[in-house]
Homo-oligomer: A and B are copies of this chain.
Amino acid sequence: MGLVKSEKFTDQQNEIALFAKVFGHPARVSILQYLFNINSCVCGDIVNQIGLSQPTVSQHLKELKHLGLIKGSVEGTSVCYCIHKENWAAMKEVMIAFLDQDIPQTDCC
């Protein structure tokens, strides 16, 4: 098979999994941390920061953009990427609600 049976799960569960999946690669984690730490919205030097090739970085950026977590705007010959604040906040709420569940008091294992 190799394909996820999404129809077996709730929309919420699939949404959490989609967000988590995009964070499931250190390059994308690294790109996001870079965008957070840089004060101005710096562009294609992400490629220099990350030690991967330009096509590979471009592909990771595409996935982040597709999920709406970053946005890019053309600035001359280069493109400027930055965090999409509203979408990031919405994602954060969903993910933290999942992570922050109350652990049952009754100990069993």
Q: Given the known A-B contacts A5-B52, A21-B20, A33-B13, are A95 and B104 also in contact in the complex, defined by CB atoms under 8 Å? A: no
Restricting to A22-44, which residues have a CB under 8 Å from any CB of B?
22-30, 33, 36, 38-41
Copies of this chain, complex-wide, total 2
How many residues of A are in contact with the other chain, CB < 8 A? Answer: 54
- Asked whether, in the complex, the Cβ of B96 is within 8 Å of the Cβ of A99, the reply is yes
Give the residue of B16, B27, B72 whose beta carbon is less than 8 angstroms from that of A23: B16
- Chain A contact residues, CB within 8 Å of chain B: 4-6, 8-10, 13-14, 16-18, 20-30, 33, 36, 38-41, 50-52, 71-73, 80-83, 85, 88, 91-92, 95-96, 98-104, 106, 108-109
